[in-house]
Amino acid sequence: MEERLVADLLKEEKTHWWHRAKRALVTQCIPPGNGKALVLGVGGGVICEELKNRGYDVTAIDLSSVSCAHVAREFGVHVMQADLEKTLAIGDSLFDLVVATDTLEHIENESQLLHEIFRSMKTSGRLIVTVPAYQSFWSSWDERLGHKRRYTGDGLGRRIKDAGFRVKKLSYFNTLICAFVYLYRKSPLYRKNTVTGKSDFSTFSGRLPSLFFNGYYFIERNMIALFNMPFGLSILTVAMKNG
Q: Are 42 and 48 in contact (CB under 8 A)?
A: yes
Q: What is the CATH number of domain 3-240?
A: 3.40.50.150
Q: Which of 87, 92, 79 is nearest to 118 (CA)?
A: 92
**What's the whole-model pTM score?**
0.91
Q: What is the pLDDT of residue 46?
A: 92
Phi, psi of 74 (to 5 degrees): -80, -35
Q: Choose between 197 and 81: higher pLDDT.
A: 81
Residue 168: pLDDT band (50, 70, 90) is very high
Q: How far apart are CA 123 and CA 38, in angstroms?
A: 15
Question: What's the distance, CA 92 to chain centroid?
Answer: 23
Q: How far apart are CA 90 and CA 92, in angstroms?
A: 7
Question: Is 90 exceeded by the pLDDT of residue 7?
Answer: no
In the chain, the amino acid numbered 206 is G
What percent of the chain shows pLDDT beyond 70? 88
Residue 8: pLDDT band (50, 70, 90) is low
Tell me the pLDDT tens digit for each residue of 61-102.
999 888 899 889 988 899 999 999 999 999 999 999 999 999
The SS3 of residue 17 is helix
Q: What is the pLDDT of residue 15?
A: 86
What value does the mean pLDDT take over residues 24-28? 96
Q: Are 41 and 103 in contact (CB under 8 A)?
A: yes
Least confident of 9-13, 18-22, 236-240: 9-13
What value does the mean pLDDT take over residues 13-39? 91
Q: Choose between 184 and 53: higher pLDDT.
A: 53
Tell me the pLDDT tens digit for each residue of 106-155.
999 999 999 999 999 999 999 999 999 999 999 888 988 899 999 999 99
